[in-house]
């Protein structure tokens, strides 16, 4: 099996594992699957027409830079990048950005006219507005907690009929259900909406060596380090202290990159 094929397996395993890993936090919950369609929870197009909003941009592959002498780690977990990258990952992330842009237009229309709001847009703006009332780590903690409590853990296969589907924020908030990737995507976009520069935000896929599962989190640059927002805990974690998380892939609006640890994982097999 080629290196690309093996990395693609890692990509797929996140969808199969992360929801199960989170579900053990709420063993008594009964998950009700949403409609078996990828656009579940989206509001209809606003009759007022297109609304100009700032988009998260178009992504491209980028190996980034790594300087071990810098006090501030350039990326979460302070590791260099590798050239290894699944061929379809950039396309998958970029396709999600298109749906996020559509969400941003719905959200902007909701802000302009409350009668145009869907329940999903109202939930998103409630999280954003609540977070804006606070500063620093308190803001991050409130966003992390609000998203964690709003969404029920459920697999993509149960909800959408696909083994791996990355929902947009309004899709997830419409059904109020998702897996770890969906929690992370809502947090990523909500923080951007609050004014966080996307150069300081990362959607990160990790290997949880303690649980032997793949998982997705959001990393936020804070001063000289990175903080982790995780659907498995209400606490904000320092990336350097989360020793059981081995970073595999880092995604933002400008790039999709594989950490060296992802390549090492392939080499070891």
Rounded mean pLDDT, 61-80: 53
Between 85 and 199, the more confident residue is: 199
To 10 degrees, the CA torsion angle through 129, 134, 140, 144?
Answer: -50
Between 91 and 1, the more confident residue is: 91
Count of beta carbons in the 10 Å neighbourhood of residue 256: 21
φ, ψ for residue 142 (rounded to 5)? -70, -40
60 vs 122: CA distance, rounded Å:
32
Among all chains, which residue has been given the structure tokens 């190996």?
Answer: 63
Indicate whether 66 pLDDT > 90: no
Indicate whether 56 pLDDT > 70: no
φ, ψ for residue 49 (rounded to 5)? 95, -170
Q: To 5 degrees, how large is the angle CA 76–CA 213–CA 209?
A: 60
What mean pLDDT is reported for the chain?
76
Domain ranges of the chain: 3-26+56-268
| Residue 19 CB burial class (10 angstroms; 0-12, 13-18, ≥19) | buried
- Distance linking the first and last C-alpha atoms of the chain: 11
265 vs 91: CA distance, rounded Å:
23
The pLDDT of residue 15: 52
In the CATH hierarchy, which fold is given to the domain comprising 3-26+56-268? C8orf32 fold (3.10.620)
To 10 degrees, the CA torsion angle through 185, 190, 191, 192?
Answer: 90
Count of beta carbons in the 10 Å neighbourhood of residue 24: 10
Rounded mean pLDDT, 53-81: 49
Q: What are 258's strand-pairing partners? A: 82, 249
Q: What are 174-204's pLDDT values in tens digits?
A: 999 999 999 999 999 999 999 999 889 999 9
177 vs 149: CA distance, rounded Å:
10
Rounded mean pLDDT, 59-66: 38
Rounded mean pLDDT, 79-105: 83
Indicate whether 37 pLDDT > 50: no
8 vs 12: CA distance, rounded Å:
6
Indicate whether 253 pLDDT > 60: yes
CA 236 to chain centre: 15
């Amino acid at each position: 099996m080629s290196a690309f094929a093996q990395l693609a397996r890692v990509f797929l395993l996140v969808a199969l594992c992360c929801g199960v890993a989170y579900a053990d936090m709420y063993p008594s919950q009964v998950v009700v699957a949403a409609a078996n369609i990828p656009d579940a929870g989206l509001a209809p197009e606003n009759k007022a027409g297109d609304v100009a909003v700032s988009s998260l941009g178009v992504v491209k592959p980028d190996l980034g830079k790594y300087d071990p002498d810098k006090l501030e780690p350039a990326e979460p977990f302070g590791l260099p990048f590798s050239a290894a990258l699944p061929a379809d990952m950039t396309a998958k992330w970029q396709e999600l950005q298109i749906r996020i842009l559509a969400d941003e237009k719905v959200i902007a229309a909701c802000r302009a006219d409350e009668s145009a709001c869907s329940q999903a847009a109202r939930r998103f703006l409630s999280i954003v507005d609540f977070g804006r009332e606070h500063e620093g780590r308190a803001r991050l903690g409130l966003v992390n907690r609000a998203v964690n409590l709003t969404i029920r853990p459920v697999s993509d296969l149960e909800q959408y009929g696909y083994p791996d589907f990355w929902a947009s924020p309004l899709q997830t908030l419409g059904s109020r259900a998702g897996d770890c990737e969906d929690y992370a995507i809502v947090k990523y976009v909500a923080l951007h909406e609050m004014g966080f520069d996307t150069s300081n935000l990362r959607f990160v896929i990790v290997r949880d060596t303690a649980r032997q599962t793949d998982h997705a989190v959001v990393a936020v640059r804070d001063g000289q380090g990175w903080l982790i927002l995780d659907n498995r805990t209400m606490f904000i974690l320092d990336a350097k202290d989360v020793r059981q998380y081995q970073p595999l892939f880092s995604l933002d609006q400008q790039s999709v990159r594989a950490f060296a640890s992802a390549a090492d994982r392939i080499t070891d097999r």
